[in-house]
A = this chain, B = another copy of it.
Amino acid sequence: MSLRERKKEKKINEIMNSAMGLISKKGYHATTMDDIASELLMTKGSLYYYFKDKEDLVFYCTKQLLGESIQQAEEIERLDVNSHEKLHKAIVVHMEYLLTERSGFEIGSKPRSFFSGEKLDHVVKLRHDYASCMDRMIEEGMASGEFEQGDVKVKRNLLLGAMNYSISWYSLSGPLDITETAHKSAEHLMKMFVK
């Protein structure tokens, strides 16, 4: 990759980080292209050199976010440990990622409000992939007898909800740091699964 391309790539990442931060803090509609640009000392217009439009920018953010989450989850899935440890680790990693990046946003949970056409399909697929990976871990645990039987989808959704909401209540100024919060939460949540 040429120097120029690397510079562009870097810029793109900066923009996406700015966007994700702002959107997760203020919400999609309350975040303007101006907000995103001025955080980077750019002008609104420049963003359009890197992204076709706002939907595009947000799509790539969502894609990256979900993509990394999936990758992390799948790596964990492949670990040679029991289901309990896998799911526990998946929860910890998910929450640490969420709280560190401060970037789990509404977009993921209501894709139909933000995307259409191919982009919507893509996001839906990624969400599905992530959910499937979670489901497989849960099913594995049930099959091996580690976890109690039960409706996998319901359990997985309760789990996702519990984890994702943390971005709304976790406070840097609170008594727990991110790692502690993630681990405490994981321990509590795992009790939903074990026998």
Contact = CB atoms under 8 A, between A and B. Distances in A.
Contacts of A28: 27, 29
Interface in A162-176: 162-166, 168-169, 176
A184 B26 contact: no
How many copies of the polypeptide does the oligomer hold?
A: 4
Contacts of A164: 161, 165
Interface stretch (A6-14, A55-63, A152-160): A152-160
Contacts of A158: 162, 165-166, 185, 188-189
A177 B8 CA distance: 50
Nearest to A114: B30
A192 interface: yes
Interface residues of A, number: 34
A2 B179 CA distance: 53
Interface stretch (A70-78, A79-87, A105-113, A118-126): A105-113
A191 interface: yes
A150 interface: yes
A160 B165 contact: yes
Interface string A177-195: 0000100110011011000
A151 interface: yes
Contact of A110 (B27, B157, B160, B192): B27
Contacts of A29: 27-30
A151 B192 CA distance: 16
A67 B66 CA distance: 36
Contact of A188 (B25, B150, B181): B150
Given A27-B113, A113-B27, A184-B151, A157 B161 contact: no
Given A184-B151, A188-B192, A113 B26 contact: yes
Interface string A96-116: 000000000010011001000
